[in-house]
Chain A
């Protein structure tokens, strides 16, 4: 698999993440107790021996840089290849931050032309799934496709999803881009594409010169009749995180043993993340913890039910956390309660404070706040 490079977009439609993206890109959104969203994509690539990876950032990328560092935790601190982070200003053709993915790719054409590899995977960083790209590549070759899009079957819960109409051989024969959410299960593109580097460069240059900037609309939708676009269908669990609602729902699904096993023991292999050298979690005498996902370094003396605790969370005696997500460094003081609440990093909930939301409208408490 050393014939493939990859480009990851650190953010695509992050505005919908509201408070959760105030300080970060979608790529560095904390997920499942100890990960960032981009860990899943990076681990899938590395486990498929794809080790030359460019990350295109747009804004708020310092938390991403802090997470990735030199890529060592994914074994990507290589002499050849490894991780290259493209800050927004790397594009010398655009005075402003890029508007669409095509413009961003045009800004780093050299990354493609200089690489000796023949194939490229273009992906967003909000895909939570265990994917073996060796399998994707093999199917791409076998199908004779120009472009392979990785897809899965689900209900489109938000707008801007790429819906695929497939023939019996999983060839894409039609596409739609959703404007609203729908209750009907359908084939959805994951914004992960595999193609020959030459095809990507040709498409990017051609579209950019015509003033087109939207990857899904201009490169995929416009080419359904002209190029052979193939769908690689995922049977395992797959999630796209692009708003608070999908973030909460997909986080809670990790509590399901079957889905957890599909994510962490799936074809994509181990999921790596930044190592923090936390100690094991300490349970004290009054701890009650049920149906929850708990990272290392926590100190628990209260009640935690149907919840996710990230690293280093403190739950004091009498505190009660239900249906909630507490990110790294959260402190839930004595007798405080949380229900349907997401607390971002380093939030303190003071004594006897009660925070609650509903399943439809989860309360989000922004980073570093004390309430």
Chain B
């Protein structure tokens, strides 16, 4: 038995397949998808934890876990290789001689790891998602949780009323206590959208997880079951208002938008702000090289790139080659992709290791808010002179 007690244990839900990212999650779980040039999505919650002094994190994996396991490793890039605590990858496992179950839902994933959490005898459990881009001090949220004497605190962000019906909405009293939770309401009563970030008193959550597991009709989900059940029983649930940048990157469009937000200085997220660093596992690559013909504007370029073409308003990840005469505009190029001479890439995401052949065209320039993003899947090949249309996805 580990003797060292932790006040808070974070449980990071990283098992989702991310079907709405299509081929980008064909080989990897969503949290392992490349982001912002040198990061993976999971770097954000992991770095937030470390920066918030939370050093014990369980990462719940299920779908295509190898890449994610390898990426997390012993947690050293996030300073999570600790003597006590650290980062633990928790796939489903067999308990007590029976065949193990897959994680049936978000709540069931934590239920199956009650023993893990119990080892640290925590007061609080922080439940996080592995598919959000944001910088957040969980320590402040924990202070709020304690101050309110809450059983559960749910981080919420103010969304436009027109979009509120896409989210789980927390309806609150003037003291911010939650009286109702509505999943994707047709007529939203408020604009407080749940960010999928919860702090629970562990003993309370533990009880509800066990009850939920015994309910055969439950879908074992935090939003659908645990939160409504706690509300029904009159437990103290509070909303915690977060006013920083936050984006769910579960779709191609939102993943592209979030990458563009990293370039845009007025978006509210600044990766270069050293007071809240985002850490990533580094690759051993030399500084990037710009050739005689390179033209790069309003873009991010990462180590290991060789650029001799034109790059405008784009995020270029590590190890990417962009040959002479190629044009990349308003696009995200993921690690080690090759853009050959004369190719044109506009409003597109080019997956890891993909090759876009000479003079091929991927996507097109678009105006207004109605853009659609073309996608070349990881390790995909676009033949010389081939065309990938607006919004089209190719493997």
Contacts and interface: CB of A to CB of B under 8 A. Distances in A.
B366 interface: no
Contacts of A255: 289
Contacts of A33: 286-287
Interface string A126-161: 000000000000000000000000000000000000
B302 A294 contact: no
Contacts of A360: none
A336 interface: no
Contacts of B285: 264
A275 B303 CA distance: 12
B286 A264 contact: yes
Contact of B287 (A72, A272, A284, A296): A296
Nearest to B272: A279
Interface in B272-306: 272, 277-280, 282, 284-303, 306
B286 A34 contact: yes
B76 A281 contact: no
B282 A280 contact: no
Q: Which of B289, B291, B299 has the most CB of A within 10 A?
A: B289
Main secondary structure of the interface of B (DSSP, over half): loop
A264 B278 CA distance: 27
Given A72-B76, A280-B36, A32 B297 contact: no
Contacts of B77: 275
B292 A290 contact: yes
A235 B38 CA distance: 34
B393 interface: no
A296 B298 contact: no
B168 interface: no
B37 interface: yes
A292 B289 contact: yes
B79 to A, nearest CB: 10
B296 A287 contact: yes
A283 B298 contact: yes
Contacts, number: 101
A254 B289 CA distance: 10
A271 interface: yes
Contacts of A279: 37-38, 271-272, 300
Interface in A231-274: 254-255, 257, 260, 263-264, 270-273
Given A282-B272, A289-B290, A295 B303 contact: yes
A295 B279 CA distance: 17
Given A275-B282, A296-B303, A285 B37 contact: no
B287 A293 contact: yes
A299 B296 CA distance: 12
A202 interface: no
A280 B38 contact: yes
A293 B286 contact: yes
Size class of A's contact patch? 35 or more
B301 A281 contact: yes
A291 interface: yes
B284 A281 contact: no
Interface string A3-38: 000000000000000000000000000001110000
Interface string B131-156: 00000000000000000000000000
Given A277-B279, A296-B303, A260 B286 contact: yes
Interface in B313-350: 315-316
Interface string A69-107: 000100000000000000000000000000000000000
A72 B76 CA distance: 9
Contacts of B37: 279-280
Given A34-B303, A275-B282, A295-B303, A281 B288 contact: yes
Nearest to B290: A289
Contact of A287 (B286, B297, B302): B297
Interface in A274-318: 275, 277, 279-285, 287-297, 299, 304, 308-310
Given A280-B37, A291-B291, 7 more contacts: A34-B303, A270-B284, A275-B282, A277-B282, A289-B294, A290-B293, A296-B303
14 contacts: A34-B287, A277-B279, A279-B271, A280-B315, A280-B316, A282-B272, A283-B296, A284-B297, A284-B298, A289-B290, A289-B296, A292-B290, A294-B301, A310-B287
Interface of A: 32-34, 43, 72, 254-255, 257, 260, 263-264, 270-273, 275, 277, 279-285, 287-297, 299, 304, 308-310
Interface of B: 36-38, 76-77, 263, 271-272, 277-280, 282, 284-303, 306, 311, 315-316
- Please give me the 9 A-B residue pairs with the lowest Cβ-Cβ distance, nearest first: A33-B287, A280-B37, A295-B287, A270-B284, A280-B300, A280-B302, A283-B296, A289-B290, A279-B271
